[in-house]
Amino acid sequence: MSVKERLEADLLEEDYEDEDTQEDKFLTFVLNREEYGIEIRYVTEIVGIQNITQVPDMPGFIKGVINLRGKVIPVMDVRLRFDIEERPYDDRTCIVVININEQAVGLIVDRVSEVLDIPKTEIELPPKIRRSERSNFIQGLGKVGDKVKILLNANRLLYEGDE
């Protein structure tokens, strides 16, 4: 292989490495038999449900805090955030730890499904029919085969409509 060919091959590899491998990828999870998704770039880890310390004077959907390897992280029950009836936690219930603006927050979900690649061309804006406060959390509706995933805006989920 000539020097020129090696340089071109190296440049192609660098271009490939610079691509955003998390673009269009969503971690999907279930709440009340509906599938939701959140951009994978915000997800730092998924842990099982664990001991939650309640903190007084917090909004009702903030269940408290957990100690995750020495770091105190607030946890939000997404069911309660969406005004969905609370249910007992089970062995499938997990905490999806996300990081927004250098703030780690745990999202309690019924169960995690999978990571899906949903291109922008397969995402539509939510309908503007009688939008409620919780529809502000919806970034879009992702079409995956014959199913629709409700894609959440992580920033709004954490910071909008706080009580």
Quick: pLDDT tens for 13-62: 544 444 567 789 999 999 999 999 999 999 999 999 999 999 999 999 99
β-pairing verdict for 34-39 and 147-152? parallel
Contact 107, 76 (CB under 8 A): yes
| Count of other CB atoms within 10 angstroms of residue 136 | 13
Q: What six digits make up the tokens of 144?
A: 């995956």
- Structural class in CATH, domain 24-159: mainly beta
pTM summary value: 0.81
